[in-house]
């Protein structure tokens, strides 16, 4: 069996890592800062508009980040296919990363659909991006209540992906590869 030289995977690693970093960091920053800052917009009607503009501007950047991450992930799978097949522990890591990536995609997609419901009504009264007030229309309030949870779920899942990616890097150390080949 031949283990491929992983130093030639710089482009796919970069796409994978930069895309994941932006997906994680951008959603965390928006949850921590934008959603809370929208409360300071000056009025209940402006709060929703401010957060909608912010999230609508973030969406194409996030889509590009996710796309880059996925392209990089496929490149990493191709570049490491021999190691995935032969090194003990690597297939389980790949399955975990794939499952978590699918979960992050699903939650991100659901969050965007909910965000579109909120964004469609630009001047509804809200306390902040994820907190309705008494006069908030029920459809927007229901979406906001879900978004209040999802805003933390996405960075949590993508943060775990960052940690697993670090673990995957450790699995590529020569001594880990050798030990994994001996164990398989």
Tens digits of per-residue pLDDT, 70-84? 999 999 999 989 888
pTM above 0.85, yes or no: yes
Q: How confident is the model at residue 3 (pLDDT cuts 50, 70, 90)?
A: very low
* Domain range summary for the chain, segments of one domain joined by +: 10-183
For 105-140, b/e burial (b = at least 16 CB within 10 A) is: bebbeebeebbebbbebeebbbbbbbbbeeebeeeb
Tens digits of per-residue pLDDT, 86-103? 888 889 999 999 999 999
What is the Cα–Cα distance from 34 to 44, expressed in whole angstroms? Answer: 15
3-state DSSP percent of the chain in helix, strand and coil, to 5: 85, 5, 15
Average predicted confidence (pLDDT) for the chain: 88
What is the Cα–Cα distance from 111 to 124, expressed in whole angstroms? Answer: 19
């Amino acid at each position: 069996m031949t283990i491929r030289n992983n130093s030639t995977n710089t482009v796919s690693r970069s796409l994978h890592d930069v895309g994941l970093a932006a997906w994680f960091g951008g959603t965390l920053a928006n949850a921590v800062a934008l959603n809370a800052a929208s409360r300071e917009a000056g009025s209940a009607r402006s709060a929703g508009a401010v957060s909608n503009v912010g999230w609508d501007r973030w969406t194409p950047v996030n889509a590009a980040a996710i796309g880059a991450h996925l392209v990089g992930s496929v490149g990493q799978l191709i570049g490491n296919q021999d190691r995935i097949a032969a090194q003990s522990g690597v297939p389980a890591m790949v399955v975990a990363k794939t499952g978590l990536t699918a979960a992050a995609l699903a939650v991100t997609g659901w969050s965007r659909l909910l965000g579109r419901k909120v964004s469609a009504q630009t001047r509804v009264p809200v306390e902040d991006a994820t907190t309705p007030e008494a006069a908030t229309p029920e459809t927007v309030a229901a979406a906001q209540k879900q978004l209040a949870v999802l805003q933390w779920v996405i960075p949590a899942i993508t943060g775990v992906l960052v940690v697993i990616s670090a673990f995957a890097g450790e699995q590529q150390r020569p001594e880990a590869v050798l030990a994994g080949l001996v164990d398989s």
